[in-house]
Amino acid sequence: MKVFGRMGRVSRIVGALAVVALGLSACSSSVGIAATVGGEKITINQLQASVNSINAARKVAALPADPKAGDLPRNQLRFFLLSVLLKEAATTHGITISPSDIAARRKTIIDQLGGEAKLPNALANAGIATEDFDLYLRDITYEERIGTAAAPTAAVGTAGDQQRGAAVQQAVLDAGKKAKVSVNPRYGTWDANTADIVAVDTTGGAVKKK
């Protein structure tokens, strides 16, 4: 089930690990702030640290140059925004996640990968910073539990997955409407209709996509 592009099913890390993404449009001119969601702030330093970590891990893993490396800061900001809104949506449904839940999820993924030693490369391939891994695990757990709580009659299988995915999407959209979300314009603007951070055209339309 798809939830806001990069989030997807907030994906499952098995084999290559799929990659992980809400809010309302606005801008944040506060110095050092990449975005705010309600009372929570995502700092530029936090965002850049995550980007730097991913780039360093890709280098260690000897991965080829990412043709979309310029999109990484915006993608990471989308990930952090969605993480906050998933937490808000989970709270609405009375869902909580404990450290033991995250530890159990981590063990399952590492077992599926074939051992802890394979985790760094898997994370590098997925574009997930090592320090963000627990947050990622929390998010996919939230997503699954929100889907179950919001669509309790959904059947097992593809159709049920789609129904749960739509329920998660709506729950996060609702959370975004309740929370005041602002995005620093250096990363783009938030499009509430497509649930994405849209890059700002700084060329005045001089450069067009082919």
User: For the chain, which residues make up each domain, given as ranges?
Assistant: 5-198
What's the CATH fold of domain 5-198? Answer: Triger factor/SurA peptide-binding fold (1.10.4030)
The span from the CA of 169 to the CA of 22, in Å, is: 10
Tokens standing for residue 26: 């606005």
Beta-strand ranges (E) seen in 63-133 are none
CA dihedral 188, 190, 193, 198 (to 10 degrees): 10
Tokens standing for residue 29: 């001119």
Tokens standing for residue 8: 């997807």
Residue positions counted in the chain: 210
User: What does residue 190 show for φ and ψ, rounded to 5 degrees?
Assistant: -90, 125
Three-state DSSP class for residue 169 = helix
Q: What is the C-alpha radius of gyration for the chain, rounded to an integer number of angstroms?
A: 17
* Contact of 84 with 37, CB cutoff 8 Å: yes
pLDDT at 182: 87
Q: Report, as ranges of residue numbers, the positions in the chain whose pLDDT lies below 50.
A: 1-29, 207, 209-210
